[in-house]
Amino acid sequence: MKLVIAGDHSSIDLKQALKEHLEARGHEVTDLGAHTTQSTDYPVWGRLAGEAVVRGDAELGIVICGTGVGISIAANKVRGVRAACVSEPFSAQMSRRHNDANVLALGARVVGVDLAKMIVDSWLDAEFEAGGRHSHRVGLITEIDEEYRAH
């Protein structure tokens, strides 16, 4: 699968570890940055990864900041992004199955590398349960996106 990964200065080590892990699993991973530990603004990276996903450059995106919170908020402002900020595998899996999350947000200061790998694997191994109530609910999210975009 084609993936993009991006994050702020706090993400560098975890981002690289996840990229290597995902490539070892056969995924094609594009690292959009940041590439140094110099302080940088997480919304820039959340936006960049979100835009790459909705443009179709990648199927899914992974974004990382210190907590995962700020960058998930930023990514979710990109129309069509459904970013889930999680810190354990169960929510990661459910965010795919029920919410069709197309971006996963992680906190580099929250989760260790091994837990992050488990989270990412759970997320990628799960599939959206399309049809029925979950499609309806995701459709309602899309409606909010479209209605507020019009203002």
Helices and strands (DSSP H and E) totals, the chain: 6, 5
Among 65, 85, 136, 151, which one carries the catalytic annotation? 65
Residue with tokens 């499609």: 135
Report the residue from 4, 6, 10, 46 that binds ligand RB5 according to the rule CB under 6 A. 10
Of 9, 21, 35, 98, catalytic: 98
Amino acid (1-letter code) at residue 76: N
Q: Assess 8 for contact with ligand RB5 (CB under 6 A).
A: yes
Question: Catalytic: 65?
Answer: yes
Which residue has 């929510």 as its token pair? 91
Residue 76 binding ligand RB5, by CB under 6 A: no
Q: Are 48 and 64 in contact (CB under 8 A)?
A: no
Q: Which residue is nearest to ligand RB5 (CB)?
A: 70
Among 33, 43, 66, 80, binds ligand RB5 (CB under 6 A): 66
AA identity, residue 2:
K
> Considering the rule CB under 6 A, would residue 67 count as an interface residue with ligand RB5?
yes
Q: What angle do CA 90, 129, 95 make, to 5 degrees?
A: 30
Which positions are catalytic?
A: 65, 98
Chain residues binding ligand RB5 by CB under 6 A are: 8, 10, 42, 65-67, 69-70
